[in-house]
Structure 1
């Protein structure tokens, strides 16, 4: 993340130099991939080695926005990708897969609001959180009965607006002056809360895309999100069930514990708000620690690190697309 740092290969290790001084050196086989933020230099030898070993190199700008991705030859199963395209051309299959994505998102978002209501010290704030959670339950029922993709997307969009409107009440009162969510804004985010969410969503997006590619699925061909050139629609689909559980919960933790403050953000001309250097470093470190925590997968009944969940769910999605499972089951939190 340090501007002008130089990442290169040295005897089977990845070495990072800043101003010609070594700052970090780790064995290449310990890394699943390399993600750089901003103006970081990477040696051609390291790029070739990453490609040879099937490890991805992801280039993000200094604020976490995706710029480019370098990876080796595609090794995806062509039969799985054919099944993925057949499902995309089948309106019924597309609707059911999209419905599963929406159900996962709404259920996990509802859990965030329910937890906030339980932990609230103010009954006048717990009540609207409970109502918002009940509204998400109603949206879940409506999504189950949606008969078209447009109807389903409309339900999801309305539910998301209600969820983000209630999320401010999960922030502790002493932090609300600094962190108030003025609706969901992006490209650019217009407040600190949105800037934090956008940064975390960018990290999550990269993990979801890598998970899909690792099981042989095409991240560009989605079901809930419309297919557009350059858009990783299926990665966005997979991301939905993890937004609240991984990104939103971590954002609330960082805010409520006072780990981030106003000085960790920058305001640009035009009103754009972005994480500053210290803020980015803190969030990335917290993100990596969060991914190390273990949870029990409700379907597999097995303990695993949170960071492994996108890969596990990508495998389940592949099985559902192949027809090895009756349908896709998103990851649901308690």
Structure 2
């Protein structure tokens, strides 16, 4: 299964028998067979025919509309994805059950962040990274004993500050400077890549959550709102460092990204432009197609990790005694 990214502007998406075609004027930019398609993500201004929309609804293929910067405007999903069955179980989860899972999510996020810094520390030692690694270890222990969501979020925030300050030490390309995380808007090229990558990954998880019949607006760690699918924000935490932060470092340090030509500065922020988005998405897909060994010993693409974790959360909802265990980097 694959996702179709439409990142160039002015594209026309149509259906030819069982094949979706992405065109720009008379040129075919891409095509994918419907049976192989998992979801469509449209960045910016492109047109999708009614025939494509109807075919996707019939096959439970979500269509996600995003701004060129990665902000999600909304999704087209089949009417039967109403979350009625599982939502009742999610609402019945006890506060203590949600807290236990929230602890697991934060602990695993911090452990995965620590692994990223440890790997970089072995390549090039840094005092700042060494201090951050020690701080993360301390905060992991604190998170395990947190007695409220508010306390957990405080530990997570303190850990993020330490982690991102050290992440800049892992960048060897002098064209890119990173001293800390800034989101609204992204303050520089590194923050632009992180924000865009997190948004793409968040939307992938949201689609999988909906396909499994879970209510994305009932979560354990994050608070939901009318525009915030909190469960996607919960499940992305374990994958941020592993899938997006490491990809950003790889792209920057291998000089695959051009600090001058792949970004645009506007509205007080820095964002990926058309060429930058295309490069990032191409590298993201390539990274997600890499195979890793799962718990049963099988080698499966990294895409499968996302689905397995969503299914694991679904099992927890049905039977809270089966504690949800986030994915931890080996």
TM-score (norm 2): 0.94
The Cα shift of 1:81 comes to 2.2
1:291 corresponds to 2:283: no
The Cα shift of 1:130 comes to 2.1
The Cα shift of 1:300 comes to 4.1
Which stretch of the first structure deviates more once superposed, 145-154 or 23-32? 23-32
Among 9, 13, 32, the alignment partner of 1:26 is: 32
Residue aligning to 1:267:
265
Is the CA contact 1:220–1:230 (under 8 Å) kept in the aligned structure 2? no
The Cα shift of 1:221 comes to 1.3
Among 35, 60, 69, the alignment partner of 2:75 is: 69
Matches within 5 A, 1:210-289: 210-262=207-259, 263-270=261-268, 272-289=269-286
Please tell me the root mean square deviation across aligned C-alpha atoms, in Å.
1.5
SS class of match (1:185): coil
1:322 corresponds to 2:318: yes
Residue aligning to 1:302:
298
Residue aligning to 1:47:
53
Is the CA contact 1:100–1:330 (under 8 Å) kept in the aligned structure 2? yes
The Cα shift of 1:324 comes to 6.1
Residue aligning to 1:149:
149
Q: In the aligned structure 2, how far is the partner of 1:210 from the partner of 1:100?
A: 23
Q: In the aligned structure 1, how far is the partner of 2:81 from the partner of 2:63?
A: 16
The Cα shift of 1:273 comes to 0.3
SS class of match (1:32): strand
CA deviation vs aligned residue, 1:158-197 (integer Å, no higher than 9, x gap): 111110111011111xx13x22223211121011110000
Residue aligning to 2:16:
10
TM-score (norm 1): 0.93
The Cα shift of 1:326 comes to 3.2
Among 193, 199, 222, the alignment partner of 2:190 is: 193
Q: Residues 258, 58 of structure 1: CA spacing in aligned structure 2 closer, same or farther, 3 A cutoff?
A: same
Q: In the aligned structure 2, how far is the partner of 1:13 from the partner of 1:57?
A: 16
Residue aligning to 2:121:
117
Q: In the aligned structure 2, how far is the partner of 1:75 from the partner of 1:69?
A: 12
Structure 2 unaligned segments of length 5 or more: list them: 1-6
Q: Residues 258, 46 of structure 1: CA spacing in aligned structure 2 closer, same or farther, 3 A cutoff?
A: same
Which stretch of the first structure deviates more once superposed, 217-226 or 279-288? 217-226
Is the CA contact 2:168–2:178 (under 8 Å) kept in the aligned structure 1? yes
Residue aligning to 1:180:
177
The Cα shift of 1:114 comes to 0.5
Residue aligning to 2:3:
none
SS class of match (1:128): helix
Residue aligning to 2:170:
170
Is the CA contact 2:60–2:211 (under 8 Å) kept in the aligned structure 1? no
Is the CA contact 2:86–2:215 (under 8 Å) kept in the aligned structure 1? no
CA deviation vs aligned residue, 1:34-75 (integer Å, no higher than 9, x gap): 111110011011111111110010111112211111011234
Residue aligning to 2:66:
60
Aligned residues: 323
1:95 corresponds to 2:99: yes
The Cα shift of 1:133 comes to 1.1
Q: In the aligned structure 1, how far is the partner of 2:266 from the partner of 2:150?
A: 36
